[in-house]
Amino acid sequence: MEAVMEWLREFAKNILRTLSLLTFRDSFIESLVNIIDILFVAVLFYYVFKFIRSRRAFKLAIGVAVFLLILAVTQMLEMHAAQFLLANVFQIGLVTVIVVFQPELRSALEVIGGETVMAPFKRSRDVSETTAMIDVVADAVSDLSDSKTGALIVIERTTLLGDHIITGTVINADVEKELIKNIFFNKAPMHDGAMIIRGNRIHAAGCLLPLTTRTDLIKDLGMRHRAAIGLSENSDAIVIVCSEETGIISYVENGEISRNFTPTMLKAQLRSKLVGDEDEKKHTLRRTVRNVTDRIKTDRKER
């Protein structure tokens, strides 16, 4: 406990020391290093706050911060009995906090490894192939919604889902509407599991996904929705859910679920996330130029 408080005191001292050194009397290099130091700490705290803000760990983080504040006050006022009690509680609770924050710590490390380290080595998506895949998936989900057929479709991004793929059956097929509908046909052997799309292809089906442990979800959400949220909490995958009872289409990303999507809304959302506005504009421009060129060639042939 003393080591933790000593670390906090040293951290505060270093921040104050850095601020005090930030003067124009210093050399340009020293001032630049101090500015970078402060910006780095500020950005680090910002991204930590942003990461846990929308998660249940946010309330736990606030509780830990309040506890440390009370502990610091008891030390300043030399309240020995309260300090002894809180210090012992903190020593026991430190391990508990690590266990409680385990999903968030794992998710944070996966995000860092997936988006900052592996992202440069990931093959960029072909815009036309991705757009075609999105259209087929949205059309298939629309038909599944009309027939109230349950479906769970995962689109893999930077976080590899090999641990979940091995629980299902590898298909490695083109994304076809009829194939998707057949996979989720209620008498098909793999209809209860998830279908995983990797590299614009149906890579596997009948896969098992981890269920979320959140308790603040509405009672209408079944196992498919809880599995979708559970996977999105530990990866950057996009998950699409079609309810078997109501036919409602849901979009799940980063542990958050959005319901009542129409096929048009789903296409727009997927294009925004997987293709991007700039790539979509470039693709549209190339398609327009190609259409104009084809029209000119046709006119010349007719003449």
**Residues of CATH 3.40.1700.10 domain(s) within the chain?**
127-275
Residue ranges of the chain with per-residue pLDDT less than 70 = 1-31, 50-61, 90-125, 277-303
Strand-pair category, 169-174 with 249-253? unpaired
Residue 126: per-residue pLDDT = 73
The pLDDT of residue 88: 72
Superfamily of domain 127-275, CATH level 4:
DNA integrity scanning protein, DisA, N-terminal domain (3.40.1700.10)
The pLDDT tens digits of the residues spanning 244-257 come to 999 999 999 988 99
Give residue 286's pLDDT: 58
pLDDT score for 105: 66
Q: Which of 124, 156, 155 is nearest to 141 (CA)?
A: 155
Give all strands of the β-sheet with 256-261 in edge-to-edge order: 169-174, 201-207, 194-198, 151-155, 238-242, 249-253, 256-261
Say what the pLDDT of residue 234 is: 82
Place of tokens 């210093």: 26
Which pLDDT tens digit goes with each residue over 18-44? 555 555 445 656 667 777 777 887 887
Cα 87 from Cα 92, distance rounded (Å): 9
